[in-house]
Amino acid sequence: MGKFLPFAGLLVVALALVGTAAAGKVGLAKTWVYDPGNLGTASATWTKDGLSLQKDAPTTANLAAGVEFKGLEGQMLTKLSFDVKGYCGAGAPRFNVSTDAGTSFFGCTYGTHTPLADGWERVVFSGGAPGTVGAFAQVLEGVDVVMDESGRTLLRDITVNGVAVDKFPHS
């Protein structure tokens, strides 16, 4: 029994370190839905084709769905991108980026668009578009993708600073 306790202690410490490393891993995103009125008409789900975001209510409804990226805090913002199929409006889907200089919003239509196959488009934000320069070269505090306009969209190949984002376990 006495030999087992040191081993058990090391195992607990090792598991704690693994959990901490996984929680802070760059490239993971956790889904969320903001629905204070319990309308139940917004969703953020991972599918085999990517991230499905939808708001089946008027744009004016206090309702949104999205993902929050984990592990980006402290990095310098250099580039944001995603492939989109479906709704692509001025305000959604969009990146909400919090930096040490404030919060900036990158609506889908304002990125640089490149057509891809099967109705997909690549959308890139790299600081050259009007209104985006302020967030670039700033220290990240948080990044979300938000869908709060009426519509449905599918996103894939989401990247922040060139790092591909994937679903967070249990998201």
Q: What CATH number does residue 162 fall under?
A: 2.60.120
Structural domain tally of the chain? 1
Q: How far apart are CA 37 and CA 49, in angstroms?
A: 30
Q: Is residue 15 in a domain?
A: no
Q: Is residue 149 in a domain?
A: yes
Looking at residue 129, its pLDDT comes to 53
Residue 133's pLDDT band (cuts 50, 70, 90): low
Q: Which helix (H) or strand (E) holds 80?
A: strand 80-86
39: left (phi over 0), alpha (psi -120 to 50) or beta: alpha
What percentage of the chain reaches a pLDDT higher than 70?
Answer: 78
The pTM (predicted TM-score) of the whole model is 0.79
Residue 169's pLDDT band (cuts 50, 70, 90): low
The runs of H, that is alpha helices, within the chain are: 4-23
Q: Is residue 35 in a domain?
A: yes
Structural domain of 40: 26-167
Q: Is residue 145 in a domain?
A: yes
Taken as a whole, the chain contains a residue count of: 171
Q: Is residue 133 in a domain?
A: yes
Q: Is residue 5 in a domain?
A: no
Comparing C-alpha atoms, which of 48, 46, 85 is closest to residue 66?
A: 46
55: phi then psi, degrees, rounded to nearest 5:
-135, 105
Q: Is residue 10 in a domain?
A: no
| pLDDT tens-digit map of 84-110 | 999 999 999 999 999 888 899 999 999
Q: Give 130-136 contacts, CB < 8 A, sequence gap 24+.
A: 131/104, 132/104, 132/106, 134/101, 134/102, 134/104, 135/77, 135/97, 135/99, 135/101, 135/104, 135/106, 136/77, 136/78
Q: Is residue 58 in a domain?
A: yes
